Chain A
Amino acid sequence: MKLLIENVKWDAYLIFKYGIVTIAAIITALYCMSFIFIDTTGLEKVVSVLIFTDPVMYGFLFTSVMVLFEKDAHTHEVIAVTPLPVNYYILSKAIVFTLLALVSGLAIIVSAQPAYFQPLLLILAIVLSASLFVFVGIVGVSFVQNFNQFILIMPLVLGPACLPLLHYFDLVNSWMFYLIPTQACLILFSASVSITEIWQIIYALIYLIIWNFYAYKWAVKSYKKRIIKTDTYE
């Protein structure tokens, strides 16, 4: 546990040094400013989608970038010969990027001042979605060697992840969207700013917890198998 806290501290410092925090702050500031000047009444759906697609999905992008930076610097193999367990390494990334998404998301919602607001649901939405995207980011980045290759596989994740938006904006309706975890994310986000049926919230919470659990396992396995053990210079 002590090691996990140490790792979180250093990851927080590193994302600051990599300029990730600055970029997140600029994006957040832009959204906050717009929402301060725009009356968002009736636009709750848009606000929650923006919080979902931005701070949260950036977690996916930022995690991947960070792991690629480290791959470039070959620090993974050094981390691997310290007592730090692999699952702490993964959890630390999830914690740091979830915190970043929380700060950013809460700042945006506060500036949007929605008429109906469930803070707990928003926090749950951000935490469960951001961590899921961090885990998926680590799985994805384990398959690639550099950023160019990463850009190629990005649509494989973001494409399906965005499909439930069709349902969310009432363009297409099908029960199949409920199989995609981002459907659950969207439900939680919109439940935080608009009244939602309870069965939907329960479905979303349970479904996201299950997805987080397996994505986490998969991330640990991917990291061990494809990032540490074959991290050679040749």
Chain B
Amino acid sequence: MIQVANLIFRYPNQEIDTIKGISFKIEKGEIYGFLGPSGAGKSTTQKILIKLLSEYKGQIQVMGHDLKSYNNSYYNKIGVGFELPNHYAKLTGLENLKLFASFYEVKNVDLMELLHKVGLTDAAHQKTQDYSKGMKMRLNFVRALLHDPEILFFDEPTSGLDPVNAKNIKDIILDLKAKGKTIFLTTHNMHDADELCDRVAFITNGQIMAEGSPKALKLKFGKPLLNVEYQNSGFHLAEFELENLGQNLEFRNILESNKIISMHTREASLDEVFIKTTGEQLTLTD
């Protein structure tokens, strides 16, 4: 669905390339996550893919055609969820959707139904200037869906949302995937990426440092562990790798000569994999 090869991009006012030759491929029906610290080039890559930046080097193919060959009708095929709220403050939520919907070819989407999906039914006739940050973000999110596009780009779709609404948004994203939509997602949130993405790319400093399914990455770079809490004149905590645990003498020793309080296995997290592959810690913003 999307194929990027040797993408290089430099902002006109910058000395060095912001995107330093990245390549990736997104299949139809896939959720692809772009993860990386602030300033890595996630939004820049997304802006190139949605044709807001055009002076790039390298090849980009979307839906089988060179990205540069598309005119404005490209936007009938893609939906974009922006990182920060952007609505007409003096218009109601419903009017905002109507305004943007009037520019697309597909017109039969039920706008009230869309608002209902993200819990904005009651706020449909309220001006967006009176919305809370979370409400604005939810409106941002559904606006990307109002022309039933084939490919969706979401920049930090759950940032600024409470857990219930964040869960709801994630469910909708999974639902879109079930309908065969292709989804490009950027985030700093490892949990979301782990839950949602079929594949992720770790990007730092304009380069992709690792790529693969969250599961495969964790398997390859992270080690699942066992935490053992035991009593032996005071409480102690020990940590063991699950691999060859049966042959681990220290572990067997503890089992034989101590009172075990608790044992928990701990999966490698995507965070650990990220630190290992990029040598960088993700700055947490939410």
Which A residues contact B (CB, under 8 angstroms)? 3, 6-7, 9-10, 14, 17-18, 69-70, 73-75, 77-85, 228-229, 233
> Are B100 and A74 within 8 A (Cβ)?
no
Q: Which residues of B contact A18 (CB under 8 A)?
A: 90
Q: Which residues of B contact A9 (CB under 8 A)?
A: 102
The CA of A9 and the CA of B86, in the complex, are separated in Å by 20
Which residue, of A3, A79, A82, A84, has the highest number of chain B Cβ atoms within 10 A? Answer: A82
> Are B84 and A84 within 8 A (Cβ)?
no
Chain B min CB distance to A12 (Å): 12
A-B contact pairs, 6 of them (CB 8 A): A10-B99, A17-B90, A75-B88, A77-B82, A79-B103, A81-B80
The 5 residue pairs across chains A and B that have the minimum distance between CB atoms: A74-B86, A82-B103, A17-B90, A6-B102, A84-B103
Chain B min CB distance to A232 (Å): 8
Q: Which residues of A contact B85 (CB under 8 A)?
A: 74
Which residue, of A14, A83, A85, A233, has the highest number of chain B Cβ atoms within 10 A? Answer: A83
- The residue that A84 contacts in the complex, of B53, B72, B86, B89, with Cβ under 8 A, is B72
> Are A233 and B80 within 8 A (Cβ)?
no
Chain B min CB distance to A162 (Å): 32
Which B residues contact A (CB, under 8 angstroms)? 50-54, 72-73, 75-76, 78, 80, 82-91, 99-100, 102-105, 143
Q: Which residues of B contact A81 (CB under 8 A)?
A: 50-52, 75, 78, 80
Majority SS at the chain A contact face: helix
Q: Which residues of A contact B90 (CB under 8 A)?
A: 14, 17-18
A-B contact sample (7 more), CB < 8 A, given A75-B86, A233-B83: A14-B90, A17-B88, A69-B89, A78-B80, A78-B100, A81-B75, A83-B73
> Are B52 and A6 within 8 A (Cβ)?
no
- The residue that A85 contacts in the complex, of B51, B72, B76, with Cβ under 8 A, is B72
The CA of A226 and the CA of B147, in the complex, are separated in Å by 28
Q: Which residues of B contact A78 (CB under 8 A)?
A: 80, 82, 86, 100, 143
